[in-house]
């Protein structure tokens, strides 16, 4: 018994005669009759009662018909689902994202992607840049939205946005209200930074002949912002990490230091080898950010 025989059988039941069913199936009557006899021989029972040219189902035939309709319906559904996978409108997008962009740029990208591919499921991993880059060759994720600097050998990237760093904290930490602020102005206030940027920030202060007063080091941009909002110090983080409206007593000022500028990039080992869903997300990123950005293979 195969799918084709079940399709023939269901058509005969619905058309009520072999002649009408053969016409519906675009075939001649003898091979259709042969298929029905073969099905009955295989099952070892009669499926039809015949009255003239009309066919009526036996009890066994009715049971087979009910099951056959279910099976053929599942086959049609499966074909449509596989077509969706082929076209990228189904499946799973496996992507990693750093905390400093997951509430802003990343959501803009997801909104756009979900609008065009609403059937695609999401598997999102939040971690720091190095953890995400380690997950790529292990195939735990297909793409990662990360921030420079990072080791780039063997990676392909779409650069999406260039950002300086911002200082966020209670206005009492910025008595002069000067914008942008400098390392010198930040050297006397307690700083809240996330670990990923600790060495870069310390090196920047050192190059300016200053020593930072680091109050807290943590692993998350959201935690940096939360501590700064509670008045515990000045958080140093990128604008993509600050999406909410800040209270009137909290200042958000750019830091005038080029050493803290970074780029947000969507990376993968090879965009040509991405699964269909990942490839569509990659192409969307290339399309949306073609102006003001660039794509290419990183050189080290």
CB-based burial, 200-239: b 16+ in 10 Å, e otherwise: ebeebbeeeeeebebebebebbbbbbebbbeeebbbbbbb
Of 91 and 3, more confident: 3
Comparing 101-105, 119-123, 236-240, 253-257, the range with the smallest average pLDDT is: 101-105
Please report which confidence band the pLDDT of residue 234 belongs to, taking 50, 70 and 90 as the band edges. Answer: very high
The rounded distance, in Å, linking the Cα atoms of 206 and 253 is: 21
pLDDT of residue 1: 81
Nearest to 39 by CA among 17, 69, 14, 12: 12
Mean pLDDT of 119-129: 90
The rounded distance, in Å, linking the Cα atoms of 234 and 296 is: 36
The rounded distance, in Å, linking the Cα atoms of 167 and 228 is: 9
pLDDT of residue 155: 92
Is it true that the peptide bond before 149 is cis, omega within 30 degrees of 0? yes
What's the chain's average pLDDT? Answer: 86
- As a whole-number percent, the residues of the chain with pLDDT over 70 amount to 92
- As a whole-number percent, the residues of the chain with pLDDT over 90 amount to 45
Residue spans per domain, the chain: 3-87, 92-162+262-297, 165-260
Q: What are the tokens at 96?
A: 């990693």
The CATH label, of 3.90.230.10, 3.40.190.10, 3.30.70.890, 3.40.50.300, for the domain at 92-162+262-297 is 3.40.190.10
The rounded distance, in Å, linking the Cα atoms of 21 and 29 is: 8
**30-82: per-residue pLDDT in tens?**
999 999 999 999 999 999 988 877 888 999 999 999 999 889 888 876 676 56
The rounded distance, in Å, linking the Cα atoms of 127 and 20 is: 63
Q: What are the tokens at 43?
A: 């099952």
Residue found by looking up tokens 């070892």 in the block: 44
Mean pLDDT of 210-222: 92
82 contacts: CB under 8 Å, gap ≥ 6: none
Torsion angle of C-alpha atoms 73, 77, 80, 81, degrees rounded to 10? -160
pLDDT of 225 higher than 80: yes
Q: CATH topology of 3-87 equal to that of 165-260?
A: no
pLDDT of residue 205: 92
Of 233 and 244, more confident: 233
| Torsion sign (Cα): 97, 99, 101, 104 | positive
pLDDT of 275 higher than 80: yes
Nearest to 237 by CA among 99, 62, 53, 33: 99
Is it true that the peptide bond before 280 is cis, omega within 30 degrees of 0? no
**282-292: per-residue pLDDT in tens?**
998 888 777 65
Beta bridge partners of 159: 265, 294
Nearest to 55 by CA among 37, 69, 80, 42: 37
> What CATH number does the domain located at 3-87 have?
1.10.10.10
Phi, psi of 144 (to 5 degrees): -145, 135
Mean pLDDT of 17-24: 91
Domain 165-260 in CATH 1.10.150.110? The answer is: no
Q: Is the separation of the CB atoms in 155 and 296 below 8 Å?
A: no
């Amino acid at each position: 018994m195969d799918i084709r025989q079940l399709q023939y059988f269901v058509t005969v039941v619905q058309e009520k005669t072999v002649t009408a069913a053969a016409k519906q199936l675009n075939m001649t009557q003898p091979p259709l009759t042969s298929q029905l006899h073969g099905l009955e021989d295989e099952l070892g029972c009669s499926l039809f009662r015949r009255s003239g040219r009309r066919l009526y189902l036996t009890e066994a035939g009715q049971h087979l018909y009910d099951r056959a309709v279910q099976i053929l319906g599942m086959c049609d559904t499966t074909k449509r689902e596989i077509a969706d996978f082929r076209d990228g409108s189904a499946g799973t997008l496996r992507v990693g994202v750093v905390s400093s962009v997951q509430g802003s740029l990343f959501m803009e990208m997801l909104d756009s992607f979900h609008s065009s591919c609403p059937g695609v499921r999401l598997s999102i991993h939040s971690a720091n840049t190095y953890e995400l880059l380690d997950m790529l060759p292990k195939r735990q994720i297909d793409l990662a939205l990360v921030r420079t600097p990072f080791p780039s050998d063997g990676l392909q990237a779409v650069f999406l946005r260039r950002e300086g760093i911002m200082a966020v904290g209670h206005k009492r930490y910025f008595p002069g209200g000067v914008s942008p602020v400098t390392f010198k102005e930040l050297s006397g206030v307690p700083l809240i930074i996330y670990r990923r940027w600790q060495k870069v920030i310390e090196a920047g202060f050192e190059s300016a002949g200053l020593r930072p007063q680091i109050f807290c080091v943590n692993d998350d941009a959201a935690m940096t912002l939360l501590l700064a909002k509670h008045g515990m110090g000045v958080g140093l983080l990128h604008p993509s990490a600050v999406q909410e409206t800040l209270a009137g007593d909290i200042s958000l000022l750019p830091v005038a230091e080029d050493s803290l500028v970074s780029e947000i990039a969507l990376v993968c080992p090879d965009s040509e080898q991405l699964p269909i869903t990942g490839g569509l997300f990659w192409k969307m990123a290339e399309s949306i950010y073609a102006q003001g950005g660039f794509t290419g293979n990183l050189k080290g």
